[in-house]
Chains A and B, each alone.
Chain A
Amino acid sequence: MPREVRRRYVALRVEGVDTVDRRTLEGAIRAAILALFGEYGLSKVEFTVIECSGENAIVRCNHNALQMLRASTATITEIRGKPAAIRIVKVSGTLKALRRKTRSLFKPVDIVKPGDDNAVPDGPKREGVKSS
């Protein structure tokens, strides 16, 4: 049976700043989407920052709005007042596959649960997904 909502998991790398926290990254992406596509666009993208460690992050979005997310992240030219760029490293349909593909990039992975700003040092413990 097909799923109602299909997602895309996007691995990002932030350049120009040493580390970026989840709130800052989320704010930067949200502002970029709002500037380009407005509130309607933001509602379509439905993005969430799933993980954030150092300069790497994993963001989830609606699969129909992947190009909107790509375009929006490309327009980010500064973070916290410093020149920066967000690169999309990999895109995958499942979090597990994305972790497998980006294993070398996200080591060690610090998980930040939505709504929690404190990073948990160990790997992810999500239902149905083995930690890589």
Chain B
Amino acid sequence: MRAYADLHLHASTENSLSELLGKAKELGYRLVGVSIPIHTPKEERERLRDACKRINLDLAFRVDLTPKSPRELLEALRAVRRRFELVSVLCLSKAVARCAARDRRVDLLNFPPHPRGRFFDRSEAELASNSLSCLEINMNCLLELRGASRARLISKLRRELKLAGKFGVPVVLSSGAKHPLTLRGPREYAALAHTLLDMGLEDALDAISETPKSIVERNREKLSPNFVAPGIRVVKVGGDCRGRSGGDT
């Protein structure tokens, strides 16, 4: 059975956040990414984590960066990368989009909902394919827009997904929900991506289960104190290490 994940929930108040987390659990999500401000106190984070643990929901903290220039992005990344499990960049200009796609510290590339603000083109896809960043699609935009603007967005997203597939850029489907009534089940998002964005149903389900899960796991490993480099971690520290492995005592 798939473990579904929604990496983009954000609420304005604590009450609405707890409602949102409860609804996410009810709809079958096992992992959620909650967007919080950069300077959220540690006690607040622990309280949220405990609340999620009580309802058996895995919580990952996420930060949404909206830099105006590449320099601002690099400074922000230096400040937040070791403090958050997920780093998302809302690319408001082409220069920021290019810089974010190139940087290995960025997990999710996010674009504004209006089609003219989306900079995921061929070069962007090529840069993203060489780093670790994924293309994030906020499904809430498809629910909020109506008529011609939704049609334009669907057409743009379809093109982006085709490019992402061509260059092997992983795609993540997220809700971007702010209220329980705007949150939908994982199969509904997969159905939207399958029918409107021409994604294969299995690919769409992976984009809301396996891909987000692998991003969080990779980052948790990196944030753990035992991490040395990709593929290398400290297994044991102490005097008895030599005696067990070497046999030369």
Pairing of A with B: yes
A residues adjacent to B (C-beta < 8 A): 15-16, 35-37, 67-68, 70-71, 73-75, 77, 83-85, 87-88
How many residues on the B side are at the interface (Cβ–Cβ under 8 A)?
A: 22
| B191: chain A residues within 8 A (beta carbon) | 67-68, 70-71, 74
| A88: chain B residues within 8 A (beta carbon) | 185, 187-188
The chain B residue sitting closest to A76, CB to CB, is B143
Contact with A along B181-192 (1 / 0, CB 8 A): 111110111011
B42 at the interface (CB under 8 A from A): no
Which of B183, B184, B194 is A67 in contact with, Cβ under 8 Å? B194
Query: In whole angstroms, how far apart are the Cα atoms of A27 and B244 in the complex?
Result: 71
Q: Are A74 and B181 in contact (CB under 8 A)?
A: no
Across the A-B interface, give the 5 residue pairs with the lowest CB-CB distance, nearest first.
Answer: A70-B191, A74-B188, A67-B191, A71-B191, A71-B195
Q: Are A67 and B201 in contact (CB under 8 A)?
A: yes
Which of A68, A71, A84, A87 is B27 in contact with, Cβ under 8 Å? A87
B146 at the interface (CB under 8 A from A): yes
Which of A68, A70, A85 is B187 in contact with, Cβ under 8 Å? A70
Query: In whole angstroms, how far apart are the Cα atoms of A74 and B142 in the complex?
Result: 10
- With both chains docked as a complex, state the minimum distance between the C-beta of A68 and any C-beta of chain B, in angstroms: 5
B196 at the interface (CB under 8 A from A): yes
Q: Are A68 and B195 in contact (CB under 8 A)?
A: yes
Q: Are B182 and A71 in contact (CB under 8 A)?
A: no
Total CB contacts across the A-B interface at under 8 A: 52
In the complex where A15-B181, A87-B27, A88-B188 touch, is A74 in contact with B195 (Cβ < 8 A)? no
Contact with A along B124-137 (1 / 0, CB 8 A): 00000000000000
Query: In whole angstroms, how far apart are the Cα atoms of A83 and B144 in the complex?
Result: 12
| B181: chain A residues within 8 A (beta carbon) | 15-16, 77, 83-85
Task: Find the residue from B182, B192, B194 having the highest chain A CB count within 10 A.
Answer: B192
| B188: chain A residues within 8 A (beta carbon) | 70-71, 73-74, 88
- With both chains docked as a complex, state the minimum distance between the C-beta of A40 and any C-beta of chain B, in angstroms: 13
